[in-house]
Amino acid sequence: MRKEKGHEMNDNIFLKGCKMLKRQGPVKTFKKAVNYLKFRRKINYMLWCRDNEPSQKELLEQRHIEFNYEPLISVVVPMYRTEEKYLIELIDSLKRQTYSNWELCLADGSCLSSEENKVSDMIKERYKGDLRIRYNALEKNLGISGNTNKAIEMAKGEWIVFADHDDVIAPNAFFECVERLNEEDGKNILMIYTDEDKISEDSSKRFYPHFKPDFSLDLLRSQNYICHMLMVSADFQKKVGKMREEYDGAQDYDFILRCVEKISKLYGLCECSKHIAHIPSALYHWRAHEGSTAGSMDSKNYAHEAGKRALIDHYSRMGIDAEVFSGEDGMFYRTRYKIKTDADGNKPKVSIIIPNKDHFEDLEKCINSIFKQDYDNYEIVIVENHSETKNIKRYYEKIETDERVKILTWNRKFNFSAICNFAVDKTNSEYILFLNNDTEMINNDCISELVSFCQRDEVGVVGARMYFPNGRLQHAGVILGFNGIAGHLFAAMKEDDGIYFHRSSMAQNFCAVTGACLMIKRTVFEEVGRFNELMEIAVNDVDLCVRVFKSGKLVTYNPNAKLYHYESKTRGVDIDAVALKRLDAEKGLFLINNYELVNNDPYYNPNLTFLKPDCSLR
């Protein structure tokens, strides 16, 4: 009996729900079902695509545009028991390209069975006369890596695009890539990647879009977020090498990691973003069906384990002492870097700077959580500023007997930037941790996590994952442009609410992190000019981080350093006229210096909204 339209997709959702119920229990299944329904009600992605992607008129106009540089693009496709209907869709999507200088290299490892001969015959019959389409029947199946390598050997182009035999490429994909190569800095580009989404088996629906940031080293080390569509300079590919069969299932991840290593050796790790371009548009449609890594849990687990091996070997080749674990929910990777010590085995010293006025209970909770840390080489520098209560004075007397605690006095009016700069002058440690007095470290290796990331040569600043007392997220990185200036990603969201691509749980790079818990190398702090004391209260932390980012160092979010933040309890809420005027002035100063960056945060995709912190569509 023929199913009515839409029932096949609904059955698929039902089966996924049953598997989830068995694997995660009724409570989590119910929550995810509710959030799924919220998402479906909130936005129709197909309608969004219609409104935000090039019209037929625009596509026609693209066909008549000539570029100064029009390279041949070789699309390399490994084949094995390919379904004819999917291959036709792939080839037809290439023939619809508005940029025509391409070739298709098909390497078929299906061993010339009668069924695969039909595919060969179909190609000859359906696409006869199109010399851009080249087919090679291999003598034996060499696996996904081996078949891909045979397709690469067929390629004559200056650029290589990797594609699967059952996926679809948007008609403007190659045009967008070549247009990017023709921009002023195009000659420096060695790799280009695009956003992507999923396409249903019957090709009737597109869904689950992945709108990505520009190149983020730490996010790449958390998952292969680059994935599809990937285009690489052919000359550069030859230097990096081909796909490796020992990583089948994650052979593209291994290849991308090796590309980053090669760029690092040629130009330096912090220069990767100048040579890896990102086009923020869903130009690749990944087929989601049983057996593909887009649709099958078994395939995902197989690929995940291969990816873990690829990442471990990446660290080994880079000479980085690190362990790799599966991340939360087993969907990505967590890296634990070994902390470097001196010749005597001592870990580097950390000065923890905490401005404070009264709020004895908050401060005590904060200090006690530090005392429980497994990291032992630190000092706590409390900067006292006009406290009035007896409780706090008695507490100072109590903790000052601990040799790890130093109490300084700031007698002038409150100025967060000036206080922090003042405190830094009274220390000589390698790392500075700026910490709000209304925070509490959750995990006992919180400081260790921060130091382990901050010690990396390419990193200047490290931030933490922070929660409100009710368990909702308070900070998972700062996005420039929120609220006209900057805002916290996923603020006030529950992690069970379906965080966008698990991003709150993954290490990644931002232009800024919150100053409520911010670790910075002393050398970097001095090089970028310290906190700007004209910014007494607002955006001083964002300003500092942005200057670190502009200096070429990474600002990194480490989700495995976790804290509670009892936000804005310390000094009350700034709402009087004078405070509002000062707030506007400080924001204005930041905008003057960073207007272009505020309107183009490289770590936030322009297709996502700036009105809410949930990464919903713009």
| pLDDT 10s digits, 352-379 | 999 999 989 999 999 999 999 999 999 9
Q: Are residues 141 and 226 in the same domain?
A: yes
Q: Are residues 385 and 255 in the same domain?
A: no
Confidence at residue 110, expressed as pLDDT on a 0 to 100 scale:
87
Q: Are residues 365 and 284 in the same domain?
A: no
Per the structure, how many domains does the chain have?
3
Establish if 267 belongs to a structural domain.
Answer: yes
What mean pLDDT value characterizes the chain?
91
DSSP letter for each residue of 234-274: HHHHHHH----GGGTTSHHHHHHHHHHHHHHHHH-GGGGGG
H or E element, residue 135? strand 133-137
Query: Is the CB of residue 334 less than 8 Å from the CB of residue 326?
Result: yes
Q: Which residues have C-beta within 8 Å of that of residue 462, sequence separation ≥ 6?
A: 450, 453, 454, 513, 518, 519, 520, 555, 556, 557, 558, 561
Q: Are residues 361 and 252 in the same domain?
A: no
Q: Burial level of 269, CB count in 10 A (0-12/13-18/19+)?
A: middle
Establish if 234 belongs to a structural domain.
Answer: yes
Q: Are residues 194 and 275 in the same domain?
A: yes
Q: What is the C-alpha separation between 583 and 597, in angstroms, rounded?
A: 20
pLDDT value at 389 more than 70:
yes
Confidence at residue 43, expressed as pLDDT on a 0 to 100 scale:
75
Query: Is the CB of residue 367 less than 8 Å from the CB of residue 399?
Result: yes
Q: Are residues 141 and 282 in the same domain?
A: yes
Confidence at residue 214, expressed as pLDDT on a 0 to 100 scale:
98
Confidence at residue 578, expressed as pLDDT on a 0 to 100 scale:
79
pTM for the model = 0.90
Establish if 137 belongs to a structural domain.
Answer: yes
Confidence at residue 42, expressed as pLDDT on a 0 to 100 scale:
60
Confidence at residue 248, expressed as pLDDT on a 0 to 100 scale:
95
| Residue 541: domain span | 350-598
Confidence at residue 115, expressed as pLDDT on a 0 to 100 scale:
53
- CA separation, residue 449 to residues 135, 441, 509, 559 (Å): 51, 12, 15, 9
Establish if 263 belongs to a structural domain.
Answer: yes
CATH number where 435 lies:
3.90.550.10
Q: What is the C-alpha separation between 427 and 450, in angstroms, rounded?
A: 19
- Please state which of the ranges 196-210, 295-309, 366-380, 542-556 shows the lowest mean pLDDT: 295-309
Q: Are residues 285 and 404 in the same domain?
A: no
Residues 477-505 pLDDT 10s: 999 999 889 999 999 999 988 899 999 99
Q: Burial level of 516, CB count in 10 A (0-12/13-18/19+)?
A: buried
Confidence at residue 8, expressed as pLDDT on a 0 to 100 scale:
39
How many CB atoms are located within 10 Å of the residue 572 CB?
9
3-state secondary structure 498-556: CCHHHHHHCCEEECECCCCEEEEEHHHHHHCCCCCCCCCCCCHHHHHHHHHHHCCCEEE
Q: Of 229, 262, 295, at which residue does a domain stop?
A: 295
Nearest to 179 by CA among 273, 67, 95: 67
Q: What is the C-alpha separation between 596 and 604, in angstroms, rounded?
A: 14
Confidence at residue 38, expressed as pLDDT on a 0 to 100 scale:
47
Q: Are residues 491 and 543 in the same domain?
A: yes
Establish if 152 belongs to a structural domain.
Answer: yes
pLDDT value at 530 more than 50:
yes
pLDDT value at 7 more than 70:
no
Residues 340-354 pLDDT 10s: 999 999 999 999 999
Report helix, strand or coil for 581.
helix
Nearest to 327 by CA among 563, 502, 510, 513: 502
Residues 504-529 pLDDT 10s: 999 999 999 999 999 999 999 999 99
Establish if 48 belongs to a structural domain.
Answer: no
pLDDT value at 267 more than 90:
yes
Q: Are residues 74 and 11 in the same domain?
A: no
Residues 187-237 pLDDT 10s: 999 999 999 999 999 999 999 999 999 999 999 999 999 999 999 999 999
Q: Are residues 276 and 242 in the same domain?
A: yes
Query: Is the CB of residue 234 less than 8 Å from the CB of residue 155?
Result: yes
Counting every residue written for the chain, the total comes to 618
Report helix, strand or coil for 459.
strand
| Reported confidence tier of residue 607, pLDDT bands at 50, 70, 90 | very high
Q: Are residues 36 and 73 in the same domain?
A: no
Residues 560-598 pLDDT 10s: 999 999 975 444 444 577 778 888 899 999 999 999 999
Query: Is the CB of residue 173 less than 8 Å from the CB of residue 284?
Result: yes
Q: Of 255, 279, 295, at which residue does a domain stop?
A: 295
pLDDT value at 429 more than 70:
yes
Q: Phi and psi at residue 162, in whole multiples of 5°?
A: -95, 130
Q: By percentage, how much of the chain surpasses pLDDT 70?
A: 89
Q: Are residues 117 and 22 in the same domain?
A: no
Q: What is the C-alpha separation between 90 and 110, in angstroms, rounded?
A: 18
| Reported confidence tier of residue 26, pLDDT bands at 50, 70, 90 | confident
Q: By percentage, how much of the chain surpasses pLDDT 90?
A: 81
- Please state which of the ranges 83-92, 158-167, 267-276, 323-332 shows the lowest mean pLDDT: 323-332
Confidence at residue 570, expressed as pLDDT on a 0 to 100 scale:
45
Confidence at residue 567, expressed as pLDDT on a 0 to 100 scale:
76
Give the pLDDT mean for 128-133. Answer: 92
